[in-house]
Structures are given as structure tokens and as C-alpha cells.
Chain A
Amino acid sequence: MTLAVFFGCAFIAFGPSFSLFVFTVAKDPLRVIILIAGAFFWLLSLLLSSLVWFIAVKASNSQDLGLQRGLLMFGVFFSVLLQEVFRFVYYRLLRKANEGLAAISDDDGSAISVRQMAYVAGLGFGIMSGAFSMINVLSDSLGPGTVGIFGDSQYYFITAGELLQSLMGHDLFIQLSDDVYISISKKWLVLWSRVTYVLQSWCWACRPSGHHSCSYLTLTLCCCM
């Protein structure tokens, strides 16, 4: 039974991203590299944000639960902010690389367009973010035991999976002009098997705030759980 839960939740959480990877990214080596580099940048941002959170926690009173919770929220906020910063950094790097590639390619353009790069980069970010959030939960679901045996919700795993799928966000960077980068992120919010489609606004300033709002939504939702 645990195996079924494992596979079910794994597919719920990672199905779309995995199929996107298989059908669009896996064939082209350059895209795979950009994807993995995207994952790496996300990892770097997480590292730095957890460093900040860790310092904050160590410097504070560990007994005070309210404070710890507050620090965690601050950690989330900072982490999201840092992710956006690293996303931007990666975007600049890719722009430069693209120029380089285009310069020496014998065709008119480079081997990969900016949109494709943006898509793949966002996918990389999303996959890594999702993997980090979900993979421990998944491996626990494989183990012996029953969810909810102590009165907790039995839907823990499945909602975790669905929330993850929603938040894994396939972010697309679209460069519409040389000096403005606009990113579109579509986030599907799946709440207890109800689908709410949330479309972010087109202003670049809204994108990070969109990410923020999604994260805080999970905070509030889980408070109600």
C-alpha cells in the first residue's frame, strides 16, 4: 500500500514537470545543461537563505515557539526574495551566453532561443525546488506506517503532492526588450482537488510578489489545516 501511495504522490507532484522534461528538454543537450544549471542556481539561493535563517535561529531563543515560527516566516520571505535574485542573475548569465553562442554560430541565430532558454531555466528552478520540498516526504511515504494514525489528517501526502505541483511553477522568462525582463509565471493552485487558476500580472515587479503570495498562501492554508 505504501508503494502505491509513493508512486501516486510522486506522479501527482512530478508528473507534469517530468513529462515536460522528457518531451521537450531531454532531446537537446544544451537544454539539459541549462536545466541543470538552473537547478544549481536555485540550490545556491536556498543555501544562502538557509544560512541567514540558521544564523537568525541560533541567535534567538529556541524555546519561544512563536518566535521560531516568526523566524520561519521571515526565512520563507527571504528565501523567496533570494530565489528571485538568483533567477535574475541566471537570466543575465544566459543572456551573455546566448550572445556568445550567436556570435560564433554559422547560422543567423544561436542554437537556442531566449524563450527556450527561459522556459528550460524556469523548469530547472521549478524541478529543483519541488524535489527539495517533496522528496523526503515521498521517501517517508514509502516506509512502513500509516498516515494519520495518531489523528492527523490522512490526506497529508496527497495534498503535499498537489500543493507541490501547483507551486512548482513553470516560470518563463520572456525578454521583450533589451533592458526589461518580464517573467510570466503560471501557477496552478490545487486546493483539495479544486483547481484555481491564478494568473500573475505582467509587471516585472509583480512576479516576485506573485511568488511571495503563493508561498504565503501555503502558510495561511496550512494554518487552517
Chain B
Amino acid sequence: MRLLQLWAFGFCHLLFMNTSDSEEDSYNERSALVQCESPTIPSYNQDHDMSLPQETDTKRRRPVSSGLDEPGPVERERASTPDGEEEELTLKYGAKHVIMLFIPVTLCMVVVVATIKSVSFYTEKTSQRLIYTPFEEDPNSVGQRLLNSLLNTMVMISVIVVMTIILVVLYKYRCYKFIHGWLILSSLMLLFWFSFMYLGEVFKTYNVAMDYPTLVMIIWNFGVVGMICIHWKGPLRLQQAYLIVISALMALIFIKYLPEWSAWVILGAISIYDLIAVLCPKGPLRMLVETAQERNEPIFPALIYSSAMVWMVGMADSSNPDSADERQRNEGGALAQEGVESEDDATQGGRRRYSAEEDLEEDRGVKLGLGDFIFYSVLVGKAATTGGDWNTTLACFVAILIGLCLTLLLLAIFKKALPALPISITFGLVFYFSTDNLVRPFMDSLAAHQYYI
């Protein structure tokens, strides 16, 4: 019963990167997870926790320039609050949060599938490979192919592990500038170079005549607005759209450049890695989370998808001086990804105290790391690549959504950092292979005879 009672409770996430630029306007407590941290935060006012559903955030941001991804756990840290009230209220929000994640994930997958089905560039087999998958897959020999894909996977996963460890080390030693610079570089590449490539291919597919000056204008504007939205401030919807677009672009790159079998094995391996990294006591991601908790500072990944909703506008006025100090002290300046709110919100408690009476619906929304978007879309995109069968794509899509739902449910039960990839990817893989090999012949025979079940 408890399982169902805590249905989609509300969660905190693993935050990955901390941008320590001390932009006074960049810190948005709404998206910070300070409230979600240990109950020992003295300023946290427990009476008003009911207005704070916790958020789920699966941080998974991989810097594009290094071409790898750091899976992040979905973390759930409950602030200590009266159980009953909190459960009631967050239950109401629970389903809403799940839907707030369904929609962007669906959109990303739709973009990827639409591109795959229409633009043939991303499905053309090329001899080019990423340097992370150096072994070529020989289609003639099954054993050799399997072996090479396993080797590719090992290379890729080890690259990912190394990068994650480097990041943890950097974070531990507070090299925030370095991390921030790295992230800016990767999003630059995504927003300018990959989108240029994408646009070029779309134009080729639809035979649209385009001149370079116009193209430069378009790409320039797209890229600059994207950088501003993602790393600084911008309207929430625009920022969400940009995050979805860059996840889709990254997923398309993976779909194009990962060899066939390697892609599937990598998907499986990365969910296992995610599981280990988050749940094992010595896992890098878990260490990251614990470090962030120790320092009592919100780690902000520069790139997570945030669907936060209404802001308590009244908060802008009730800024207390000590909280401003705290903010600077924290140096946990997360960029205000939600944009225009200029809330001062170093401590949840202070805010909550004043806001108790307000009946503005305060919803912190949910967050999901971009890595999750990317890998979900890779799975569905690869399902769409194989042949003209839409059933497989649809099955994988439903499987991933249900996996996401279950992950959020589990998070509500266990109340600790959990990885977000394994369940969805497992379901996705199971459904892909079984639909492709079992269901497809069945449905084809049925459709040929127009029998309906």
C-alpha cells in the first residue's frame, strides 16, 4: 500500500555541475535543492513544507565535446516534514510531475523519430566512427561482430567512467570555473555545429535552396539565443525547447555514429553503469551527491531540463539581507534557468515562513537530466531506424514512458538516490527485441489477412 500511497512523491535530483559564477541574479532557489537536503538545515521551517513538493531531477549531462555522458542518479531526499500532510499534497502533484516529464521526453523522441524517418542522412551507414568506438563491426561474422561491439562498449564505458571521476574530482576541489567552461564549450558545439549539420541535411532532403548568408544568420541567432537561454536567463518555454532540441541533436549524432550492435550493447551497459554508479557506496555519482550534501550547497548542473511552474512572485520582495550573504557564501550560483524570477532564496525556510499564508500554488516542478533524454531518444531512434516498422517504435516509446513512471514511483518509495536509466532502458530493450522478432511477424501475418485482434 505504501508503494501506491507514495505514488510519485516528489524528488530531488542529483545535481551535477556547479557554476560558481556569482551572478546575483542567477541563483534560483526554486530550482535549487537545498530544501531537499538533509533535515538538519536549521532554517528549514517544517510547518510549511507542504507547499514544497520536492522535485525529481535526474542529472545526466554529458559534455558534448568529450562525447560522453555522465549518468546521474535520480535522487530523492526528503526533508523532514509531517508525513501525512506532505503525502496528501505531493500525491496531487505526483501525477502532474510525471506528466511534466512525459511531455518533454515524448517531444524529444518525436523529433528524433521524425528526423530519422525523413532525413536519410542519419540512417546512412558510414565508415566514420567516433573515436570512442574504434572497433569496426564486420557484418559477415557474428562472433567477430559481437566481440567488437563488446570491445567498443568497454571503451565507451571506460571513457565515461574516467570523465565522471574527473568531474567528481574537479567538483571536490572546487574547480567550478573549469567545469563551467567545459559545459559552455560543449553547448557551443551542439548549438552551432550540430544544428548547422542538421539544418543542412534537412535542406538537402527537402531540396530547399538556401544561401550561406541566410544560413549564417539563422544559425547565429539560433545559437546565441540558445546559449543565453540555457546558461543565463530566458523564458522557461524557450529554454525547455532548446534543451529538448539539443538532446535530440545529440541523440541523432549517437544514432548516426554508433555502430549497430555497439549501440544496443552500450545502451545496456550504460544503464548497468548508472545503477552501479549511483547505488554503490563508492560510486562516483553517489560520492558527488554526498559531497554536495556535505557542503550543503546546491549543485547545479548547467544543463538539466526544468519544468518548474509558478513562482511565488511575492518572494522577490521579501529578500532578507542574511540570505543574500548566504547565497554568496554558498557560491552555489545556479543559473536561473527559469528565467525572469528574481527571487532571493538562499534558504528555503526563510521563504516559507513568509509564504505560508499565500495560496499561490507553489510548485517546484521536476527536473530531468539531459542524458536521460538523450539515451531514451537513442533507443527509440534506433528502433525507428530498423525497417519500416512503426510497431517497434511505438512499443519502445510506451515501454520507456512506463519505465519512467516506475522509476518515479520507486523513488517515492525508497527516498534515496536512484538511477533513472535502468528501468526504462531495460523495458525499452526487452520490448524492442521482442517486438522486432516476435510481434512483427505475427502482426504482419494478421495485417496481410486483415485479421484484427
Question: Chain A residues with Cβ under 8 A from B217's Cβ?
Answer: none
In the complex, what distance in Å separates the CA atom of A103 from the CA atom of B399? 29
**Once the chains bind, are A29 and B452 in contact (CB under 8 Å)?**
no
A111-B91, A128-B398 known, 18 other contacts, Cβ within 8 Å: A32-B102, A33-B98, A33-B405, A36-B102, A36-B405, A37-B402, A50-B434, A54-B441, A72-B449, A75-B442, A80-B453, A111-B92, A136-B390, A136-B443, A159-B450, A163-B452, A218-B451, A222-B449
In the complex, what distance in Å separates the CA atom of A137 from the CA atom of B439? 16
A-B contact count (CB 8 A): 136
Question: Chain B residues with Cβ under 8 A from A132's Cβ?
Answer: 391, 394, 443
**Once the chains bind, are A79 and B7 in contact (CB under 8 Å)?**
no
In the complex, what distance in Å separates the CA atom of A50 from the CA atom of B450? 16
B431 contacts the other chain (CB 8 A): yes
- Top 5 closest pairs, chain A to chain B, by CB: A100-B4, A29-B99, A29-B95, A50-B442, A30-B95
**Once the chains bind, are B398 and A160 in contact (CB under 8 Å)?**
no
**Once the chains bind, are A129 and B88 in contact (CB under 8 Å)?**
no
Find B438's partner among A39, A54, A96 (CB 8 Å cutoff): A54
**Once the chains bind, are A139 and B451 in contact (CB under 8 Å)?**
no
Q: Which of B88, B398, B442 counts the most A-chain CB atoms under 10 A from its CB? A: B442
Question: Chain B residues with Cβ under 8 A from A54's Cβ?
Answer: 437-438, 441-442
Question: Chain B residues with Cβ under 8 A from A67's Cβ?
Answer: none
**Once the chains bind, are A51 and B438 in contact (CB under 8 Å)?**
yes
**Once the chains bind, are B394 and A104 in contact (CB under 8 Å)?**
no
Question: Chain B residues with Cβ under 8 A from A164's Cβ?
Answer: 452
Chain B proximity mask over A90-125: 1 for CB below 8 Å, otherwise 0: 000000110111011110000100000000000000
A131 contacts the other chain (CB 8 A): yes
Question: Chain B residues with Cβ under 8 A from A105's Cβ?
Answer: 88, 91
**Once the chains bind, are B4 and A36 in contact (CB under 8 Å)?**
no
Q: Which parts of B416-453 form the interface with A (CB within 8 Å)?
A: 431, 434-435, 437-439, 441-447, 449-453
Q: How many residues of B contact A (CB 8 A)?
A: 44
Find A218's partner among B96, B401, B450 (CB 8 Å cutoff): B450
**Once the chains bind, are B5 and A104 in contact (CB under 8 Å)?**
yes
A175 contacts the other chain (CB 8 A): no
Question: Chain B residues with Cβ under 8 A from A97's Cβ?
Answer: 4, 7
Question: Chain A residues with Cβ under 8 A from B444's Cβ?
Answer: 136
Report the minimum CB–CB distance from B443 to chain A (whole Å).
Answer: 6
In the complex, what distance in Å separates the CA atom of A111 from the CA atom of B5? 12
**Once the chains bind, are A53 and B442 in contact (CB under 8 Å)?**
yes
Report the minimum CB–CB distance from B214 to chain A (whole Å).
Answer: 28
In the complex, what distance in Å separates the CA atom of A104 from the CA atom of B447? 46
Chain A proximity mask over B382-416: 1 for CB below 8 Å, otherwise 0: 00000011110011001101100100000000000
**Once the chains bind, are A72 and B445 in contact (CB under 8 Å)?**
yes
Q: Which parts of A168-222 form the interface with B (CB within 8 Å)?
A: 214-215, 218-219, 222
A40 contacts the other chain (CB 8 A): yes
